[in-house]
Structure 1
Amino acid sequence: MAESPGTPSSPRESTRHSVTLQDIAAHAGVSRSTVSLVLRGSSLVADTTRTRVQASIKALGYVYNRGAAALRASRTFTLGVVVYDIANPFFGAMVAGIDSVLHRENYVSFLANSEDSPHRQQRFLERMREQRVDGLLLCPAEGTDPTLITQLADWNLPCVQVLRHVGDPPFDYAGTDFELGVRQAVDHLVMLGHRRIVFLGGDAEHSATQTRHRGYHEAMRAHGLGDVRRVIRGAVTRRAGFDAVQRLMQESPRPTAVICHNDLMALGATLGLQRLGLVPGEDCAIIGTDDIEEAALSLPPLTSVATHPFAIGEEAARLAMRRIANPDGAREQVVLSPRLQVRHSCAPVPDAGTATQQQHPHATLDA
């Protein structure tokens, strides 16, 4: 029986011309519309049929032209994600949360690292616009012009700000209550008898830093410690925590406790104490923020304010899906509550009394 014209007789022959949906349909013994449904990930196709079509796609070497399909459709099923420090484990957990939601929605993400540079951020945003992403999850770089949010709206590009925010409300936002987290840390240390509590904070003037500082100052004032408040501002890295705590331990009187902007600083401060021959938690209490996986594995295990990065990623992605489906709906802010995870990097001040041993109501002991 003669083969019909245009139907490849073998995978090798198929490479001589551009493989079409009709070619795949003929190879798999199904209709062209069934092939189209498989390519779009439709649930209307039976699993056995889907498997047969996918085998034909692979055998014929077909490559789905998603760009052309996007031109015919109203969505590209892609979401832009711009963060400012991809090397921080916090963002790895957050992006995992984002992708867990996008996978269920048949979406994929385009991830970019702004390195806290508004210029790099703008370049990525323009490229994502060119790629016609359906929406954007943006952790604004330090120094981002607040008018950027208006510009994105003018581009008809739905944007959910994550962790930090710029511009005037209302806007879509997903994050955690950093102010409450620092207040929980101060409350716990005061309960243990500490008074000379130093905050190692960031030097950037974005919303996430400002709320942390506000939480520290207000909590110290609430405990009558306004006269001994002290903030050291700088980079939020291991090295910065390592260097800062070594300088602090040379002072007299030296602080008995340090709260850090994030866990990276706190882990650096722990190493700094150990380098001086001091015992973290006994000679100086250390509390971090974010509760990354390494916090529980450090020596000693690090007390940290859990800010739930995976859950933040999930909530941000869900909010983006809602906004894409309903561009004109009311703007939403999803703010998760932090929780202090108490481990062994905090101990009472010597002779602070047994009354300070009680459990803080917002704390969880996690060995």
Structure 2
Amino acid sequence: MIPLSSQHAKITMQLIADRLGVSKYTVSQALSGKIGVSETTRREVEAMARALGYRIKTDKRSASLLPNDTASEAVSGLPSAADLLCDGDMTHTDAASAYVAIWAHDKQRDEISFWSRVLNGVILGCKGNGWQTQVLSPGKLMTDNPMTSPLAAISSPTCLGSIVLGTLPITSLNKLVQLHRADAPVILVDHEEPLIRADCILNANLEAARLACRRMLSQGCKRIVFVGKDPYSVSFQERWWGCRQALDEHSHRMEGCSLRKWTISYGQPTWEQQLTKRVGSLPSEELPDGFICANDEIALKLMKLLQEHSIPVPSRCKIIGIDNIDASACSIPPLTTVELAKELLGTRAVEALLRNLAHPSVHTEKVILSARLIVRGSG
């Protein structure tokens, strides 16, 4: 990928050709509407010109160069080859106006260990392509007047597409798709919705939990408790399923294994109090051999509570988290966890957006980023 390092970069036919893997001649023919270029290639070239941020109002002469079925696109803002690139270089004066809408809940922006890092990955990826970003609250999608700013702006050619962080109701996603231009991609991060056409970039949540559970079983743990809340997110559900799957796979080799779940209202103000009460009321004979927590934050809180009740970790009870946030390496003992992508989720979402801009008719993709077990002192 060839980044635009600044708003003063030059757009050339060769730049567009390099990004698409076609010849400079093909780019010229496609943008001028001449014969000899397939309609698919023409659309891809036009989409890439948009993606690079160049816009120009064409006159009737340039629009007439295109076939009837693409004339309306030319009038709406795509340059012809003569207007754009016939002499080679053209100053990239409009790239700064091209932007990507990023949809993130307020609590995600404030959450420094995971979602803020994903958001940073998206912003850095967009910056590397010469795109600006606008971070919007998904709650705006349910406004009574969707044509008010900033929602009206995402319908314009300056908005290249949307990247959605986390879970969003299908009603909101449908409204987002309707507000966008038909060729503007929507990319989902850590969420999947088969009812809309969108690439999704996911962490291997199920595999992460399988790794954690298999680690517990390999350490001789027979009584295991998963701590989390299914409705909090799809990723929490998948992590519970991963633990169950690992136990099912292992049951024929080790008898007497059990897996239970502690449900806490994670994401609500009272979740820590609920966990404190649960640990305080746990009879010593019911103490499990190990806990697998839906994320590191829960695991770190649980480890502190067990230690306050004179339950040593890991000699009496092992703990494994998921995510590998920065604080997990600093706890006493350091937390064994499963590392999942953070900034990389964001940068891969930008790559998916660029792919869809360059190839508007391309088949949707589900990208799953792998998990990695990090063994430390807690389990």
Which bracket does the TM-score occupy, shorter chain normalised? 0.5 to 0.7
Give 1:206 deviation, angstroms: 4.7
Residue 157 of structure 2 is aligned to residue 136 of structure 1: no
**1:98-137 alignment runs, 5 A limit:** 98-114=122-138, 119-120=139-140, 122-123=142-143, 127-131=150-154, 132=156, 133-137=159-163
Shift in CA distance, 128/227, structure 1 to aligned 2, threshold 3 Å: farther
Q: Report if aligned partners of 2:222, 2:256 keep a CA contact under 8 Å in 1.
A: no
- Alignment match, 1:219: 246
Amino acid at match of 2:126: L
Amino acid at match of 2:103: V
Shift in CA distance, 121/42, structure 1 to aligned 2, threshold 3 Å: same
- Alignment match, 1:271: 304
TM-score (norm 1): 0.67
Structure 1: segments with no counterpart, 5+ residues:
1-37, 45-68, 347-367
Residue 272 of structure 2 is aligned to residue 305 of structure 1: no
* C-alpha separation in 2, matches of 1:327 and 1:98: 21
Give 1:345 deviation, angstroms: 1.3
* C-alpha separation in 2, matches of 1:229 and 1:39: 54
1:102-126 CA-partner distances (Å, limit 9, x unpaired): 1110112222354xxxx45545987
Give 1:277 deviation, angstroms: 2.9
- Alignment match, 1:254: 287
Q: What secondary structure, in the 3-state scheme, does the structure 2 residue paired with 1:157 have?
A: coil
Give 1:169 deviation, angstroms: 7.0
* C-alpha separation in 2, matches of 1:215 and 1:317: 28
Q: Report if aligned partners of 1:172, 1:331 keep a CA contact under 8 Å in 2.
A: yes
- Alignment match, 2:328: 295
1:195-241 CA-partner distances (Å, limit 9, x unpaired): 11111122317532332221111111222279722122233359636
The alignment's C-alpha RMSD in Å is 3.3
Q: Report if aligned partners of 1:81, 1:111 keep a CA contact under 8 Å in 2.
A: yes
* C-alpha separation in 1, matches of 2:308 and 2:272: 13
Residue 103 of structure 2 is aligned to residue 79 of structure 1: no
* C-alpha separation in 2, matches of 1:322 and 1:257: 44
**1:1-367 alignment runs, 5 A limit:** 40-43=7-10, 76-84=97-105, 85-88=108-111, 89-114=113-138, 119-120=139-140, 122-123=142-143, 127-131=150-154, 132=156, 133-141=159-167, 143-145=169-171, 147=174, 151=178, 156-168=183-195, 171-204=198-231, 206-224=233-251, 228-237=258-267, 240=271, 243-244=274-275, 247-248=278-279, 250-251=282-283, 252-346=285-379
1:79-123 CA-partner distances (Å, limit 9, x unpaired): 111234223220121122222221110112222354xxxx45545
* C-alpha separation in 1, matches of 2:277 and 2:372: 28
* C-alpha separation in 2, matches of 1:236 and 1:188: 24
Shift in CA distance, 130/152, structure 1 to aligned 2, threshold 3 Å: closer
Q: What secondary structure, in the 3-state scheme, does the structure 2 residue paired with 1:208 have?
A: helix
Give 1:182 deviation, angstroms: 0.1
With 237-246 and 279-288 compared, the bigger mean Cα shift is at 237-246
* C-alpha separation in 1, matches of 2:146 and 2:192: 16
Amino acid at match of 2:275: A
Structure 2: segments with no counterpart, 5+ residues:
12-53, 58-76, 79-94
Q: Report if aligned partners of 1:303, 1:341 keep a CA contact under 8 Å in 2.
A: yes
* C-alpha separation in 1, matches of 2:345 and 2:215: 25
Amino acid at match of 2:125: V
Identity of counterpart residues, as a percentage?
22
1:108-146 CA-partner distances (Å, limit 9, x unpaired): 2222354xxxx4554598734524421111134354437
* C-alpha separation in 2, matches of 1:290 and 1:113: 24
Give 1:320 deviation, angstroms: 1.0
Alignment coverage as a number of residue pairs:
282
Q: Report if aligned partners of 2:177, 2:186 keep a CA contact under 8 Å in 1.
A: no
* C-alpha separation in 1, matches of 2:224 and 2:183: 47
Shift in CA distance, 109/218, structure 1 to aligned 2, threshold 3 Å: same
- Alignment match, 1:5: none
TM-score (norm 2): 0.65
